[in-house]
Structure 1
């Protein structure tokens, strides 16, 4: 039995219904003897704290006096909170010493497991009833595969199959193996078993507990079918492309798509046509404007793509849109399906960072599986989720969800063949279990509870940043600058029409009304044009911190603090952010967030401001940087470094060049398919080319710069003239890396040597 808690909430405040303390204590003692942790509280607030903090509650017995009033927690009090936190399956008993309450709300009678009269039954009998109900609950609380895996582990079977460590025994025969075994513990190795264990089912055949678990996940996520993938969303994306696209067919790719999508295009030798998203003054990638998704716009983009002329058909067979974007912009997926679905049979929403979309009303219509109804013309819709990113699962755990459409019904047998081609024949069973558990955690009210908690903490942090910035500006005893959060300055209360400053808006308003987060076409705060009302929403849990230096419109200030300096300082405080751009950085409020975690970040930002305002020596702020590059940084102060870097970024026009390179309606011209360029690469018909000679060359490998983390060049594309935005942007990055060692840009597909960039190009 899993370690479990029994909550006893016994009221001791009422003169009319005083619960006999000794009897309650005896019930608690019996339950502890059954192996439970028992938490006994005597107030509504204490009970609420336990419900919030303890996820292992297996049963609860609550005084009716604590439920009926609901003074602190609203109608239903602790009882309603228990049901919202867990589910109606959680056994809850009402304790009383009085008479049966005929006036109890009907919903109470429908959800409780019964009444307990402390003055009539014995403590042993009462504890036995609670124990029996808790065991029944625990028997069914585990999702299908994890439940069977724990049962298999309990049988202590001898292993005569792979893996060769045989439940971890092999590790015990070596000093280094023993250290490894002790670090992770026996249970991991006992559940790392072979596909020969038939009773656990087959990942390839989707049978047994594995198949039951995938079907359960499909129900939880609203899909017709769900597949567990053990190699991340990268492999999930390649699977979908490889299953849906044949040689020389046209595909529509979000230029903001993950590089794995382009890898899938290489595998299939498809002909990509790119849908170009918008960008704002911060350099943040926005949505693809809706006017670029219409059938007419798609046909025009196909006509502008030279390699599309040799496609087997002018009609695209597949399209992909990144949702949400890395920076938290979520499309109206239903609207996108209406627009883009007219041009393709298969529509793929890459939702690697958005697996929780279905579990909160704030995101209604914003996720792929929200697409419903079918008049025979809707495409089949795929959604890929990195379960490990913002749900709770082991790294590389992912899911593919499918909703079949009448335009091109999902062919499961065909997809299964592609799935087996990319999947491993030696799956890690704990990873399968983590997919199963990730789905189980989101089942029922628990999914909304967990998502609401993450949203709430993100909102409180966002408000705290703005509020602290206002206090610092009003203090008058220090420079008024501070960091900001990319979000609306004000929100409108839909019920009253009143405009409220963001940091003073009620938290409940911000976490329940999507109108507070949608990108109004006329709003200046987001910096994007060409939007429809409600087309795009900013996800509260993806918080972009803004630094002084530039605004959403791209206006550059004379004073600036580049984000790379800030996040380098944060790393010295053991705070690692998700992504650093030029003047912004991203932090994620996952389910694992805590107030202490974001409070520490806020404190670190305040400390950075103090160091900057007091002209702190760089050797004090970033000692490792100065030690590694003494000639460059010795003697500098923190403000001096920021000023030098801001001046370099401003003169180099990094953000304008970045935006020009990424938002041109016509991306770099593709003169051969990515697959053709890749064939040149593996046959050695390529050469490294420096940036000075890169103009008009055809690249053989994908070039991805971080920031922004999406491809700037795809294999087979010809780089523009020497003075075009893309070559100039790459040269500026190269020069920046040379001038600011220790702050180099992360560029995939680029060979670095002596501070210079070299890119693999097709031999002319």
Structure 2
């Protein structure tokens, strides 16, 4: 069947002077460029290497576009590495006495590795340092950063080019994606799951044929099952999936990496179930994602909930104060794990190193939910990552800020006591036996992009974010909040940093209601935001942000700012401040024990419409979470007090845009499940 292809309307961000086709049958894909930087003060040697490598690149197959250039000084090398997103390899001359006069080559290697760990670093050894003693001179951090070495007295352009080309090819490899494409190209008849059989079930149907065209033939042909052995098994990888995971571990700085096809939500549960046995103590940020709270129920752990900091004026929740964390670590040395979220939805991230060090000193494993921070490894302005700070386990939603498909995530492991068999058993308990191969392929591709061009794309994102901050502030009606404005007073001295690619916009002075503004942006200006609170909007600047999108957003914000100024002051609603979230009080039993009891449901309001006093001192069975902000007010096993009940009722009455997850809706009446009086619950010491 012939299918007409729609013309592609491509408006890529290109440097001035580049040719650009506005309408073309297929957008031209630029060829990759991989620059090799030679750092040497020896002019004759530099010319020999650069000329030889470039001549070889013209003569031999060069699919990744290797091209060599040189600098003579360390500061020039650092400047080039910090500005050239197509740089992939650096050759450091260890034998030139006049290498910038700024320290030995080992120092330069350390600086380059700290600046861009994805670069491949090679040494040019002097003739008398070819043995093991010469190589030992780069032991330690510098030695770990070095991928290989060449003898500067035996320049072999062809041999060196082949080695460097192989190095770049290895970094750029996508073993699973390549195998998936190869299998689809074989055009095998499908006599296995899934039932649509490569999309053939949709063809010719008057009811669903449009779905085939909407999704695309290649994606449907790639929707396969575990019946295809050459595509490996996500549950027991030993082939191309294992290879792809090894490349990801190298890219993200982990000992091991696991691909996950149902998000960080499942990742958090797998880690908790691996580390925790029933009754084990767990320290956790109360602001953790709900999947962590679900993991507490599943594991039977004894949680110690730590109140987050809060910026009450904005209704934004941030990190747990460092002093509170350190006190909890000291008070609970028996704890098996500490779980933190860094960065938060709004971009706030901990100074993790001292916290991790304190936990490790007590033998406590540190798990960091980095769902919103998977991109950090690939730009120095965003580092250090949780792994670089010593975290034992890190979950990342690769789909949120990198280019993987939705639900595609990774678990990174650096735990020296890691039990791979136990982890695998828990992983398989939660993973589907029919994983979506397109998600696995997207993880492979997202890793490749992050390694090969992540620095360049993130550098562009950071520039866009800075421009947007300046221009949005200039509207006079909207303002991008600074780190200082986002922080609660109690965490100002904790070394917390802000991810600049997350823009939290205060709309309080504009007169717009947040929900109304979000709707206007979508319906009138075709702009979908990430989230809204009672007085803020959150926007994400990612690798997919383009100059055109920035321009359209700014046009919309300027138009809305002018409209806000023209509105009558009396018509401008005052943003309502969120009620203050009550502090966590205490648990009467393990969350698991309360959750699995039958319980009974009591109404949140009594017959007169007031907070139901019958709920006071009862034990909650479910997790009650208002969205926003998404922090549990009550968890299973928690004793309901006046503060929590009052907070929930006030939310219902004043925050129409807030959903209360966990309450039962019975004939329009909101009810809360609590333990029956006769349901016994094991005692538990009050939480911190």
CA distance, structure 2, for counterparts of residue 763 and residue 44 of structure 1: 68
Cα 1:322–1:526 change in 2 (3 A) is: same
* 1:259-317 deviation digits (Å, cap 9, x = unpaired): 101111111111110122211232221221111122x44454x6xxxxxxxxxxx7111
Partner of 1:404: 415
* Contact 2:270/2:430 (<8 A) preserved: yes
CA distance, structure 2, for counterparts of residue 403 and residue 54 of structure 1: 41
Residue of structure 1 aligned with 2:580, choices 628, 643, 658: 658
Partner of 2:434: 426
Residue of structure 2 aligned with 1:455, choices 450, 454, 462: 462
Residue of structure 2 aligned with 1:609, choices 561, 579, 582: 561
1:591 lines up with 2:543 in the alignment: yes
Partner of 1:717: 638
Residue of structure 2 aligned with 1:57, choices 26, 31, 41: 31
* 1:133-168 deviation digits (Å, cap 9, x = unpaired): 999988984411111111112222233322232222
1:546 lines up with 2:506 in the alignment: yes
Q: From the two aligned structures, give the one with the greater helix fraction.
A: 1
CA distance, structure 2, for counterparts of residue 228 and residue 214 of structure 1: 7
CA distance, structure 2, for counterparts of residue 415 and residue 293 of structure 1: 27
Stretches of structure 2 lacking an aligned partner (at least 5 in a row): 1-13, 22-26, 36-50, 55-66, 91-120, 123-163, 678-688
How far apart are residue 398 of structure 1 and its match?
A: 0.6
CA distance, structure 2, for counterparts of residue 141 and residue 87 of structure 1: 10
1:46 lines up with 2:17 in the alignment: yes
1:377-392 to 2 correspondence within 5 Å? 381-392=392-403
Partner of 2:314: 282
Residue of structure 1 aligned with 2:482, choices 482, 487, 503: 487
Partner of 1:465: 472
SS in 2 for 1:159: coil
Partner of 1:216: 247
TM-score relative to the length of structure 1: 0.65
CA distance, structure 1, for counterparts of residue 492 and residue 503 of structure 2: 23
* Contact 2:275/2:337 (<8 A) preserved: yes
CA distance, structure 2, for counterparts of residue 168 and residue 135 of structure 1: 37
SS in 1 for 2:259: strand
How far apart are residue 525 of structure 1 and its match?
A: 3.4
Cα 1:602–1:530 change in 2 (3 A) is: same
* Contact 2:285/2:340 (<8 A) preserved: yes
CA distance, structure 2, for counterparts of residue 352 and residue 658 of structure 1: 26
* Contact 2:359/2:365 (<8 A) preserved: no
CA distance, structure 1, for counterparts of residue 616 and residue 29 of structure 2: 59
Cα 1:186–1:569 change in 2 (3 A) is: closer
1:84 lines up with 2:102 in the alignment: no
SS in 1 for 2:433: coil
CA distance, structure 2, for counterparts of residue 325 and residue 59 of structure 1: 35
Partner of 2:62: none
CA distance, structure 1, for counterparts of residue 565 and residue 291 of structure 2: 44
CA distance, structure 2, for counterparts of residue 546 and residue 221 of structure 1: 34
Partner of 1:736: 654
Residue of structure 2 aligned with 1:669, choices 578, 582, 586: 586
* 1:379-429 deviation digits (Å, cap 9, x = unpaired): x61000111111101111010000023xxx111111011011111111111
Residue of structure 1 aligned with 2:386, choices 368, 373, 377: 368
1:462-541 to 2 correspondence within 5 Å? 462-469=469-476, 482-487=477-482, 525-531=485-491, 535-541=495-501
Partner of 1:262: 293
Cα 1:140–1:389 change in 2 (3 A) is: closer
Cα 1:597–1:59 change in 2 (3 A) is: closer
* Contact 1:390/1:590 (<8 A) preserved: yes
SS in 1 for 2:674: strand
* Contact 1:252/1:318 (<8 A) preserved: yes
How far apart are residue 336 of structure 1 and its match?
A: 2.1
Cα 1:327–1:193 change in 2 (3 A) is: same
Partner of 2:275: 244
Partner of 1:575: 527
Cα 1:415–1:135 change in 2 (3 A) is: closer
Cα 1:146–1:291 change in 2 (3 A) is: same
* Contact 1:58/1:134 (<8 A) preserved: no
* 1:629-649 deviation digits (Å, cap 9, x = unpaired): xxxxxxxxxx54533x54xx3
SS in 1 for 2:317: coil
* Contact 1:146/1:433 (<8 A) preserved: yes
CA distance, structure 2, for counterparts of residue 603 and residue 756 of structure 1: 44
Partner of 2:625: 704
SS in 2 for 1:763: coil
Residue of structure 2 aligned with 1:182, choices 213, 219, 223: 213
* Contact 1:333/1:370 (<8 A) preserved: no
Could you tell which deviates more after superposition, 540-549 or 253-262? 540-549
Stretches of structure 1 lacking an aligned partner (at least 5 in a row): 1-42, 90-109, 112-132, 303-313, 373-379, 470-481, 489-523, 550-558, 617-638, 738-742
How far apart are residue 183 of structure 1 and its match?
A: 1.8
CA distance, structure 2, for counterparts of residue 382 and residue 265 of structure 1: 16
CA distance, structure 1, for counterparts of residue 171 and residue 253 of structure 2: 21
CA distance, structure 1, for counterparts of residue 28 and residue 458 of structure 2: 16
* 1:500-542 deviation digits (Å, cap 9, x = unpaired): xxxxxxxxxxxxxxxxxxxxxxxx5344234475721011001
SS in 1 for 2:189: coil
Cα 1:416–1:151 change in 2 (3 A) is: same
* Contact 1:218/1:401 (<8 A) preserved: yes
* Contact 2:34/2:86 (<8 A) preserved: no
Cα 1:731–1:755 change in 2 (3 A) is: farther
Cα 1:47–1:223 change in 2 (3 A) is: same
1:324 lines up with 2:319 in the alignment: no
Partner of 2:358: 339
Cα 1:597–1:190 change in 2 (3 A) is: same
Partner of 1:193: 224
CA distance, structure 1, for counterparts of residue 249 and residue 446 of structure 2: 12
Cα 1:59–1:255 change in 2 (3 A) is: closer
Residue of structure 2 aligned with 1:679, choices 575, 578, 596: 596
